[in-house]
Chains A and B, each alone.
Chain A
Amino acid sequence: MESLSNKKKVLEQKPLNLAERMYLPAIVKGLGTTMSHFFKKSSTIKYPEQQREFSINWRGMHSLKRDEEGKERCTACGLCALSCPAEAITMIAAERKPEEKALYREEKYAAVYEINMLRCIFCGLCEEACPKEAIYLDGPIVPSDYLRKDFIYGKDKLVEAPLEVK
């Protein structure tokens, strides 16, 4: 059939000549190729000792942020939980007492905030949904563990370390 686009390229399959039919020249060439790799530097990164840097848009373990004065930013509005496609986030809100003013930024705070790391797909939608800039997926790789219950991370693991008192 006539080619309309002229993109078709007909490959002519010639019968192999004697050197090609002997295969040995091609095999020797192949051996040369593999040998050249023998002397190449290996691209292995010995993981636990040696770590590759994460890319700038890497999404790892979540952390709940504090503001400049060291107060927790989260107000337990629940938008992160609502936006989470994997339903990994749960929280219980509580009202701030007057003496806790130094701990929480606004009158409402999350008394319990849990993320199930086995459900989480690290999509970053919670980060996008948060109106208070309280949650970011800027942590390392979530470590492995033996029991399912240990993958439910509470505030003890998620909240940023308090600011150092100066």
Chain B
Amino acid sequence: MDENSSARLKRSLLRITYRIGLFLAMLTICLPGLWIVLSSLRPTVEIMAKPPVWIPQQISFDAYVAMFSGIGKGGIPVIEYFRNSLIISVTSTVIAVAIGMAGGYAFARYRFRGKSGVFLGLMLTRTVPGIALSLPLFFLYVRLGIIDTHFGLILAYVALNVPFTIWLIDGFFRQVPKDLAEAAQIDGCTRWQAFWQVEFPLAGPGIASAAIFAFLTCWNEFALASQLTRSVSAKTLPVGLLDYTAEFTIDWRGMCALAVVMIIPALTLTYIVQKHLVGGLTSGAVKG
């Protein structure tokens, strides 16, 4: 009896510790982001207040209004940056996925000499730090006259994304049984038809998640963009964020608002894609 109750006590103590641990972990993860959102909605006076004001007294969307109402009021041309980011990210994603599909299919469906060597080689091109790659690219782009253009950045981002899209799409094609395409070919499809009518639809969701991943990489990239763009005509949002810190007095509220604008598309897309992403990265780790 006594042993029973002490065991029960120990059990519930463990459970409470577990709950607290989980809560603290989740708090640490979410707090920084929530703090940014909250700060973007508060008046600057409250952000700067000493002693700190913990409970917001008034909530306003002024920062967002100011940001989108042009250079004069908000300080930086957010709309242009947003447009550049969108054009560059979407275009380079589409190209990278097309190339990645071809490459991923080759890895998943064919055996060839030096396969793992080629794979490792592709991955190694991805390891080159953005800032190290930016030096020769900067020089070349100036010579070719494509510095500070959408085209230059799109080209760089395609190269940045191809290795990873190949990795992901390779994983998704591996999950589609080989027999299905073979059966279609026996029934009279060409390999090309079998690919588009059988394998592509099955691997579709995975390919979509690879696309979203590529999009996010472009959307978030900074090291290359900061050196290869200079003006409003090609600067992307991450580079735009730095506009705020360049000044002596930092407009914290404006920066927070811009941060929220940057994070919302990323948040939505990652949420859609999360399930497939993990599946794609780990495929082949458990069974071939």
Do chains A and B stick together as partners? no
